[in-house]
Amino acid sequence: MTIDTSLLFIGGEWRTAYSGEYFDVLNPATEEVIARVPDAGPEDMKLAIDAAMAVQDRFANTTATQRSKILLAAANLMYERADDLAEIMTREEGKPFLEAKGEVAYAASFLEWFAEEAKRVYGETIPANTPDKRILVIKRPAGLSLAITPWNFPAAMITRKLGPALAAGCPMIVKPSELTPLTALAIAKIFSEVGLPKGALSVVVGKDPVSLVKVAMDDFHVRKVSFTGSTAVGKLLMKQAADTMKRVSFELGGQAPFIVFQDADLNAAVENAVIAKMRSMGESCVAANRIYVQRPILESFTDRLVAKLSALRIGNGMEDGVQVGPLIEPAAVEKVERHVADAAEKGAKIILGGSRGIEVGYFYQPTVLTNVTDSMLITQEETFGPVAAIIPFDTEEEVVERANHTHHGLAAYYFTRDIGRVFRLSEKLQFGILGANDGLPSTAQAPFGGIKESGLGREGGHHGIDEYLDVKYISLGGILSENT
Ligand code: SIN
pLDDT in tens, the chain (484 residues): 556 678 999 999 999 999 999 999 999 999 999 999 999 999 999 999 999 999 999 999 999 999 999 999 999 999 999 999 999 999 999 999 999 999 999 999 999 999 999 999 999 999 999 999 999 999 999 999 999 999 999 999 999 999 999 999 999 999 999 999 999 999 999 999 999 999 999 999 999 999 999 999 999 999 999 999 999 999 999 999 999 999 999 999 999 999 999 999 999 999 999 999 999 999 999 999 999 999 999 999 999 999 999 999 999 999 999 999 999 999 999 999 999 999 999 999 999 999 998 999 999 999 999 999 999 999 999 999 999 999 999 999 999 999 999 999 999 999 999 999 999 999 999 999 999 999 999 999 999 999 999 999 999 999 999 999 999 999 999 999 886 5
How far is 129 from 475, CA to CA, in rounded Å?
10
What pTM was estimated for this model as a whole?
0.97
285 counts as catalytic: yes
Write down the pLDDT at residue 4.
Answer: 66
List the residue whose alpha carbon is closest to atom 6 of ligand 1: 442
How far is 229 from 236, CA to CA, in rounded Å?
12
Write down the pLDDT at residue 484.
Answer: 58
What atom of ligand 1 comes closest to residue 285's alpha carbon?
Answer: 2
Residue 426: CA atoms inside 13 Å, Cβ hemisphere, count?
A: 12
What atom of ligand 1 comes closest to residue 283's alpha carbon?
Answer: 2
329 counts as catalytic: no
What atom of ligand 1 comes closest to residue 251's alpha carbon?
Answer: 3
What atom of ligand 1 comes closest to residue 152's alpha carbon?
Answer: 2
444-461 as b/e: b if 16+ CB within 10 A: bebebbbebbbbbbbbbb
CA of residue 212 to ligand 1 center, whole Å = 24
Assigned fold of 8-252+454-472: Aldehyde Dehydrogenase; Chain A, domain 1 (3.40.605)
CA of residue 286 to ligand 1 center, whole Å = 6
Q: Ligand 1 within 6 A of 56 CB?
A: no
Assigned fold of 256-436: Aldehyde Dehydrogenase; Chain A, domain 2 (3.40.309)
How far is 318 from 300, CA to CA, in rounded Å?
34
How far is 280 from 324, CA to CA, in rounded Å?
8
Among candidate residues 93, 178, 251, 467, the one labeled active-site is 251
Domains of the chain by residue range? 8-252+454-472, 256-436
Q: Ligand 1 within 6 A of 280 CB?
A: no
Q: For the chain, state the CA radius of gyration.
A: 24
List the residue whose alpha carbon is closest to atom 8 of ligand 1: 442
Check if 8-252+454-472 and 256-436 are the same fold: no
CA of residue 153 to ligand 1 center, whole Å = 7
Write down the pLDDT at residue 5.
Answer: 73
